Structure 1
Amino acid sequence: MSQATGQAAAVLVAAPASGQGKTTVACALARLHARAGRRVRAFKCGPDFLDPQWLALASGGPVHSLDLWINGEADCAARLAAAAAEADLVVVEGVMGLFDGTPSAADLARRFGLPVLAVVDAGAMAGTFGALAHGLQHYRPGLPWLGVLANRVAGARHAQMLQDSLATPGDWCGALPRSDAWALPERHLGLVQAAELSDAVARLDAAADALATTPLGRRALADWPHWSAPPATPADSIQPLLAGRRIAVAQDAAFQFIYPANLATLQALGAQLQFFSPLAGDALPTCDAVWLPGGYPELHAATLAACVPLRDQLRAHVAAGRPLWAECGGMLVLFDVLVDADGQHHRMWGLLPGTVTQGRRLAALGPQQLVLGGQALRGHTFHHSTCATPLPPWAHAQAVRGGALGLGEALYVRGPVRASYVHAWFPSNPALAAALLSPAALPAPTEHVPC
């Protein structure tokens, strides 16, 4: 492929539903070509922090999210164009089922001409496999198509039955058996973080080895459907609103939900980033602002509760009028008490009054936007915990449901502390991202802006 012309092999790995094996196949494909010395760029469709960690390990590069609403079409186009200019293969992992959500993975594929590879868990089907593949390909007109891959197949005879069921024999991309060698373990918010598993690379190599035996794995990139990068318009320049400001960013197993694009946006705003690990007992770096990202504080509640020196340093930071932005898991540690999923109570850092309780069922999910000063900072929410606090919300985010706006997550403000369950996508509005980490008062909340 010629990077000079902005062309590359590309695929959007989708499925009829969650849990079919999209991440495994996308990672296997990226790993197969990356370890052969080819340049691979990977993306995740929709908001996600966990799948991108596996895709980054497989591809050897940073993984950005692509969402037509959260990013905006122009941002998606620019990221795809940049990838095509430097890669031999662009792999985009879909989200949920191919047509689930507004916008869906299919919407992204149709907008940018990304050929779709459908991964189907065929462990309990035979001829229906063909009907499902046909439906996925033709349900919406104009869907670019690569083919279909059967996952969790019992054996060669089963694979042949599945292949024979296809109306178009050329759609067959192969079959993968079920195997513990490349299974990616899960927990309540999705996959276990890649960094937590000592055999993570071995799992990816096993999946890549299996994929290498399939027609898809044996196909040379030159034989893939032609794909040209979308035209990208120059991005608006980012004003250095955080020039010279030092921002301390928590980053460890408890605070891992960080978009690389958010870090890049803060740097483009002029900020100097300093990372620290509460779990390792790090002191708060000398800084002008603190960002506590989301993650899994509920799994490390006892350790975090014992971080008394850091707690006191954060209290002094706030007492001096310096801002602190906390989102989702980062917000949980700021309350008085965290009740974990086993019912254990942990005395936390006490910068916000109240109790958060970790549940076993999903409490909120979906795209949301914080609207301040008539502008929107887009993002999403995804959590199992609930919050009980006497602190009234300073504002509410707007939840997007089927193209309409509804009442979303609370934004809590207490002095220079700003906290919400919303995971913000900083590139959607760098100025508002800067406002969250600036000592000045936030712009006034706005009731409605178009979604």
Structure 2
Amino acid sequence: MLSCPALFVAGPASGQGKTTVVAALARLHTRQGHKVRVFKCGPDFLDPQIHAIASAAPCYNVDLWMCGEADAAWRLGQAAADADLILVEGVMGLYDGNPSAAELATRLGIPILAVIDGSAMATSFGAIAYGLKHYRSGTQLNAAFANRVGSAYHAELLEKSLPRDIAWYGHLPRDADAALPERHLGLLPAAEIEDLARRIDRMADLLATTAAAALPPPISFAPASAPSISPLLAGKNIAIARDAAFCFLYPANLDCLVALGANLTYFSPLKDETLPECDAVWLPGGYPELHAETLADNRRLWASLAAHVECGKPLLAECGGMMALFDTLVDIEGSSHAVGGLLPGQVTMQKRFAALGLQEIELPEGILRGHTFHYSKAQTTVPALAQAKRPDGRPGESVYRLKRMTASYIHLYFPSNPEAAARLFLA
């Protein structure tokens, strides 16, 4: 067995400050010379970008349904072999979702630190912490941390409210200068927060004098080997869009493609007028709606991509990647933009999210899992190749195919079926 200090940071709901506390802890220990590995529970692209900056290492996702318990176990085991601290950030509230963050923490055997926004409460802080610990037997919630605290006296009230079986780990004050900015899909991408390093350092400084700053007790992790993956993409060159418009990439997906034998190159649809030399293209998700005018003006790039598809080469377009392929993209202000022109129809931004949740899709290449989260609706005359299902069996997103172009709102998790993922990139 491997041994490494580890902490699972969760909360009663979204917006409590979990990402803030995890990033601050990661930076604090990294500055002290510790090797920190951070993981994010559930599907998420934005929080892991923050944690990668804070810890100076990639942040991987772990999820019992989308990724699978075996995937989580070997990634945690691999981290425990050479890390000084493992941090796992929960998703939404501790018991939200099925399976929940609480179940993941229990399966992994990692003690839980509850982060609770204490800004509008006093003694109720203890009641919430007590409820999180005892709502379901076996939940290893050992400590609580208060966020957005108004004063030292306020912190004292919160600390005194805790039951004896939940330790007080300290608090962070209200601090607008350290807060992480947001937009409609969550936090801003790390690359767009110009002073991100300063904000994280400021939070780390504030955490340095709290009990949370100490390394938690080590726990045991079972050593596990990486899954065996056949090099189905050996010698294949895959061009991946990567810029401010297309920035939703799981590090595990990139690792999976490399393990499959692919050579990865990157290009920017915002700047590059032609595709790099490649056998297949991947347009991941992101924010094409925020860059629609620039994308619409890059006609040479879309012509290059159309020629790629016309000659039978594979193209995978996910969520924002698919949105950019439509004839027309209508942004949140109602302005229309003639974008890619590879998918007939129109995609229109909404003021509220249109879909959210885990998805499983059965394609001719095999079954893959992933998730969806978008604020737009698409209309097209292209018939659906297949329709995804949610974990409870309800219908999910449609998948469209023209020649070897596969497009959907689903963000696929390639390690859920590496062989099927590989076939999406084969002519």
Q: TM-score range by the shorter chain?
A: over 0.9
Q: Deviations over 1:206-244 (max 9, x none)?
A: 000011121212x2x2xx233111353x44421111111
Write the letter of the residue equivalent to 1:430.
P
- SS of residue in 2 equivalent to 1:7: strand
- Asked if 1 retains the 8 angstrom alpha-carbon contact of 2:142 and 2:166, the reply is no
How far apart in 2 are the matches of 1:169 and 1:408?
42
Judge which range, 323-332 or 280-289, deviates more: 280-289
How far apart in 2 are the matches of 1:435 and 1:330?
19
Alpha-carbon shift at residue 283 of structure 1 (Å) = 2.4
Classify 1:306/1:429 alpha carbon distance in 2 versus 1 (closer, same or farther; 3 Å).
same
Corresponding position: 1:432 with 2:420: yes
Corresponding position: 1:58 with 2:54: yes
- SS of residue in 1 equivalent to 2:266: strand
Pairing 1:246-285 to 2, within 5 Å after superposition: 246-285=237-276
Pairing 1:23-422 to 2, within 5 Å after superposition: 23-168=19-164, 171-217=167-213, 219=214, 221=215, 224-232=216-224, 234-373=225-364, 375-400=366-391, 404-422=392-410
The partner residue of 2:16 within 14, 17, 20 is 20
Give RMSD over aligned pairs.
1.2
- SS of residue in 2 equivalent to 1:303: helix
Write the letter of the residue equivalent to 1:380.
H
- Asked if 2 retains the 8 angstrom alpha-carbon contact of 1:115 and 1:225, the reply is no
How far apart in 1 are the matches of 2:32 and 2:316?
42
Write the letter of the residue equivalent to 1:407.
P
- Asked if 1 retains the 8 angstrom alpha-carbon contact of 2:273 and 2:300, the reply is no
How far apart in 1 are the matches of 2:158 and 2:415?
44
How far apart in 2 are the matches of 1:354 and 1:122?
47
- Asked if 2 retains the 8 angstrom alpha-carbon contact of 1:42 and 1:64, the reply is yes
- Please list every run of 5 or more consecutive structure 1 residues that lacks an aligned counterpart in the other structure: 440-451
How far apart in 1 are the matches of 2:147 and 2:390?
35
Q: Deviations over 1:306-358 (max 9, x none)?
A: 11110110111111111111000000011000000000000011101000001
- SS of residue in 2 equivalent to 1:55: helix
Classify 1:141/1:374 alpha carbon distance in 2 versus 1 (closer, same or farther; 3 Å).
farther
Alpha-carbon shift at residue 195 of structure 1 (Å) = 0.8
Alpha-carbon shift at residue 304 of structure 1 (Å) = 0.5
Judge which range, 382-391 or 165-174, deviates more: 165-174
How far apart in 1 are the matches of 2:365 and 2:295?
37
How far apart in 1 are the matches of 2:234 and 2:420?
15
Pairing 1:433-448 to 2, within 5 Å after superposition: 433-439=421-427
Q: Deviations over 1:275-322 (max 9, x none)?
A: 011112352101111000000110000001111110110111111111
Classify 1:142/1:374 alpha carbon distance in 2 versus 1 (closer, same or farther; 3 Å).
farther
Report what 1:448 is aligned to. Answer: none
Alpha-carbon shift at residue 374 of structure 1 (Å) = 8.7
Write the letter of the residue equivalent to 1:227.
I
How far apart in 2 are the matches of 1:324 and 1:372?
15
Alpha-carbon shift at residue 373 of structure 1 (Å) = 4.6
How far apart in 2 are the matches of 1:107 and 1:86?
25
- Asked if 2 retains the 8 angstrom alpha-carbon contact of 1:276 and 1:282, the reply is no
How far apart in 1 are the matches of 2:293 and 2:38?
36
- SS of residue in 2 equivalent to 1:405: coil
How far apart in 1 are the matches of 2:166 and 2:127?
15
- SS of residue in 1 equivalent to 2:219: coil
- Asked if 1 retains the 8 angstrom alpha-carbon contact of 2:144 and 2:166, the reply is no
- SS of residue in 2 equivalent to 1:394: strand
The runs of 4+ residues in structure 1 deviating greater than 4 Å are none
Write the letter of the residue equivalent to 1:87.
A
Report percent identity of matched pairs: 57
How far apart in 1 are the matches of 2:355 and 2:41?
19
Alpha-carbon shift at residue 197 of structure 1 (Å) = 1.5
How far apart in 2 are the matches of 1:420 and 1:280?
24
State how many pairs are aligned: 427
How far apart in 2 are the matches of 1:359 and 1:187?
14
- SS of residue in 1 equivalent to 2:57: coil
